[in-house]
Amino acid sequence: MFFVEETIAGTAGTTAAAHIPQQRGELLLDCAVRYAEERHWDVFAGAWLEAEDGVERCSCGEAECAAPGAHPNGSDWATQATGSAVAARRLWSKMPKASILLPTGRTFDAIDVPETAGFLALARMERMELTLGPVTCTPDRRMVFFVLPGAGVKVPDLVRKLGWAPSALDLVVRGEGDYVAAPPTRVGRSGAVQWARRPTPANRWLPDAEELISPLAYACGQEARGSRP
């Protein structure tokens, strides 16, 4: 049976899984190093939150920052991303409060959907016994599914074959040239990015977008219908 509470909290399951960062209580440095070392994901250090007169603001200095503490520090962020655990340790040793950002289009792409649709899709995937990769929940109530690279090219046609116009669904593919924030990165006062499905040895091999698109498109379609006046 599918339990949302169990999914959000996550379970170690195996000794090896215990090495993957927990959602809370670990330093950003440790998490960044483990993502690079154990998952072979590229990582790069983003902006961070700074306390000013009792209020936390983004290190970029923009009062109306759209993603305070969770965006790249410059346009050259793609060249700063590293898959080296040693380099990651050095980066976060210099900037211990920096957010952990993961470039997409390299070892994985990401399918980003509304949280409500994401949980509906997860429940359906459980019933279908689909193999899932890691999944995050973000503070702005989105859910991000990690899939094999190349999803951006495939997904529009896959959605059309299911009878949907891609523009009709709130389903975004993040591929080459984009990024996602990794747990336990905090986004302003909204909260922290969390694992809905933690990285474990069992989900080291990611699914193809084609395997997940049917339940994701269906769930996004249900949400689109529900939002109509």
Amino acid 51: pLDDT? 85
How many distinct helices (H) and strands (E) make up the chain? Answer: 7, 12
Cα 208 to Cα 150: distance, rounded to the nearest angstrom: 9
pLDDT of amino acid 223: 85
Give the residue from 30, 27, 5, 8 showing the smallest Cα distance to 19. Answer: 30
What pLDDT sits at residue 21? 46
pTM metric for this prediction: 0.87
Question: Averaged in consecutive runs of 10 residues, what is the pLDDT profile of the chain (229 residues)?
Answer: 35 38 65 96 96 87 93 95 97 95 97 97 94 95 97 96 94 97 94 95 94 96 73
What pLDDT score was predicted for residue 225? Answer: 77
Predicted local confidence at residue 227, as pLDDT: 60
d(CA 125, CA 109) in angstroms, rounded, equals: 19
